[in-house]
Chain A
Amino acid sequence: MSLLEISDLTVDFDTEDGLVQAVRDISLTLDEGEILALCGESGCGKSVTAMSVPRLLPPGTTRLSGSVKLDGRELTTLPEPAMRQVRGKDVSVVFQEPMTSLNPSFTVGYQIAEVLRRHERLSRQAAGRRAVELLELVGIPAPQRRMKEYPHQLSGGMRQRVMIAIAVACSPRVLIADEPTTALDVTIQAGVLDVFRDLRDRLGTAIILITHDLGVVADIADRAVVMYAGRAVEQAPVTELFARPRHPYTLGLMNALPSAAVNGRLAEIPGMVPSPLSDPDECAFQARCPRAQADCRLSRPPLERHAPEHLAACFHPGGKS
């Protein structure tokens, strides 16, 4: 049994324009110590999928079905007080925006200790000592001094490390990192990714990494799920995915990487993402797909196994091995 099992997860949002279908029938698993990347463009449902695990979606307007099991325990039906025990303890989140994700009114040391006192019931002193260790763990120099500083005294990279320290304070089973490096300078990105790798190696934390940056995926992830218009279109170990991408969308993403540019011009995927308000029975990518044929418009391709551990949802997949 995997640490985390998401099966047939579907998430809709009630909006003024109607029901927005954010995530459709996603099933995925996460093992202990594994780094899983959820990738795709903005609005493909990668964040919504991950945030369904700690149930951080707006409660009033979210319609969620399917199952999310952590260690065999169903989370979707857990009462809210019990869910609060899970958040920050078993499942933690590192958000995209390090500049504004810390409380400006308290020192970073206080904010780290706060989580420990809440979930581990540590005393003020014990939580303070542990906070220093955590700052050291995420690679912040002079942690004793930094403890007493306020968020505005730290740089973006430092704040992101503090956010990570807060997230891993209670040794969570699953860490969700939502675009953790997007807001950071490139040089700082590498350092933050090292912190994640280090945490996985030392604490065995399983990490769900939400990103649209295939460079980050190649760098750190073990396995990747490529999402398009709310569905998983391809899922494979990272080396396999980059060596033999099956789905034309994955291929398009890879060709759009700056390193793949031809004559200094980036390749783009023509066309637009279909509206999330409707969900016709066809391949969502067919209108933009270079390989699309008549059958792509007649029914939706199911996610099928093309190689061991390599799934893709395409009638005309590439990269036959």
Chain B
Amino acid sequence: MTETLAVPVPMSARRGRMWRRFRRRPMPMAGLVLVVAFLLLALIGPLVTGDPAQQDYLATLAPPSGAHPMGTDDLGRDAFARIAHGAQVSLQAGVLSMLLAMVVGIPIGLVAGFYRRWLDPIVMRLVDVTLAFPFLVFAVGLAAIIGPSLKGVVIALGFSQLPAIIRITRGEVLAIREMDYVAAAVADGAGDGHIIFRYVLPNCASPLIVQATVAIPTAIIGESTLSFLGLGVQPPTPSWGVMLTTAQQYLGDAPWLAIWPGLMIALATLGFNLLGDGLRDVLDPRSGR
């Protein structure tokens, strides 16, 4: 009788068991491999490849070869170097915009969900309004206002993801503030701040971690899209989206220029999504074991 109640188990204590469960599944492991490969490409790639802006007019639109493993573009720049540097831009856009959304969204969700009163309906109606816009439309609008740059991309994508983070945090807070251990903390004389940071936040960490792994690929696609449209990173800096823009002019002569960045966007996004699904399965007790 005593063990039938589903008591959430803390992350730290579950880590070993979670890793064993995670490792047995092929898809999340494939996701993990893709993500690690993407991280290596973004962190180490730019160190080993040449200058992505180095032009070679004797070898423009060259097909893949020993000197240029991914070929060259219309200005004779090494496509592999540009892919590696583009990975860095994608990683920055993905991680920074995710962090921005988390850092701004979690406190808002915590306060709205914990105190309710007048703040909660206002915040939630604003969230509903922003969620009514498609994600990309919202991001494009914001990027157009802020102006084209990596900073603009991060801010636009971060704020576009904000409503989802606020909504998830608030939902978790609403459930957790009714838990017996929160009532017990009040009875022990704990203040609001203590209850929020020691009782509510740690116990809603799992869904937020999953959301973080979903926010990164969304932002990677978002960055590529904005850059493709000219609203993101500007030409001298290599970005997968910028590379695609150039590639479409030479699609017949040099199809590899479109294939490499397209493949990279697809694989990086797939990797994070598979990893996120795997984390959801092991972290969230509600999704079944």
Interface residues, chain A, CB within 8 Å of chain B? 54, 56, 84-89, 92-93, 95, 97, 99-106, 114-115, 118-119, 150-153, 155-156, 163, 166-167, 185
Contacts and interface: CB of A to CB of B under 8 A. Distances in A.
Contact of B5 (A88, A100, A119, A150): A100
B55 interface: no
Interface string B1-43: 1100101111111000000000000000000000000000000
B202 to A, nearest CB: 4
Please list the 8 inter-chain residue pairs (A to B) with the smallest Cβ-Cβ separation, ordered nearest first: A88-B189, A88-B188, A105-B202, A87-B189, A93-B187, A156-B2, A100-B180, A101-B180
Contacts of B190: 84, 88, 118
A105 B13 CA distance: 9
Contacts of B1: 185
Among B8, B180, B190, B194, find the residue whose CB has the most chain A CB atoms closer than 10 A: B180
Contact of B10 (A86, A104, A166, A185): A104
From B2, B8, B203, name the one whose CB has the most chain A CB atoms within 10 angstroms.
Answer: B2
Contacts of B8: 104, 152
Nearest to B195: A103
B219 to A, nearest CB: 28
A88 B187 contact: yes
Contact of A163 (B184, B186, B198): B184
Given A56-B187, A87-B186, A87-B187, A104 B2 contact: no
Contacts of A88: 187-190
A123 B190 CA distance: 17
A101 B12 CA distance: 19
Contacts of A114: 188, 198
Nearest to A96: B180
B143 to A, nearest CB: 38
B181 interface: yes
B10 A106 contact: yes
A88 B195 CA distance: 14
B2 A105 contact: no
B199 interface: yes
Contacts of A101: 180-181, 183-184
A150 B184 CA distance: 16
Contacts, number: 90
A190 B188 CA distance: 25
Nearest to B8: A104
A100 B187 contact: no
A99 B203 contact: no
Contacts of A105: 10-11, 199, 202-203, 205
Given A56-B183, A105-B203, A114-B188, 19 more contacts: A87-B189, A88-B188, A95-B183, A95-B184, A97-B180, A99-B5, A100-B180, A100-B181, A101-B184, A104-B203, A106-B198, A118-B189, A150-B9, A150-B10, A150-B12, A151-B7, A152-B7, A163-B184, A166-B188
Interface of B: 1-2, 5, 7-13, 179-181, 183-191, 194, 198-199, 202-203, 205
A84 B192 CA distance: 11
Nearest to B9: A152
Scoring A86, A102, A103, A153 by chain B CB atoms within 10 A of each residue's CB, the highest score goes to: A103
A86 B190 CA distance: 11
A103 B189 contact: no
A75 to B, nearest CB: 13
Nearest to B201: A105
Given A152-B9, A153-B13, A103 B203 contact: yes
Contacts of A115: 188-189
A151 B2 CA distance: 13
A104 B186 CA distance: 16
Nearest to B1: A185
A103 B199 contact: yes
Contact of A103 (B5, B11, B198): B198
A282 B181 CA distance: 41
26 contacts: A56-B183, A84-B190, A84-B191, A86-B189, A87-B188, A88-B189, A93-B184, A95-B183, A99-B2, A100-B180, A101-B183, A101-B184, A102-B184, A103-B199, A103-B203, A104-B7, A104-B10, A104-B181, A105-B11, A114-B188, A115-B189, A118-B188, A119-B189, A163-B184, A166-B188, A167-B188
Nearest to A155: B2
Contacts of B2: 99, 155-156, 185
B180 A95 contact: yes
B183 to A, nearest CB: 7
Nearest to A105: B202
A127 to B, nearest CB: 14
A104 B176 CA distance: 11
Nearest to B179: A100
A102 B12 CA distance: 16
A23 to B, nearest CB: 19
Contacts of B179: 100
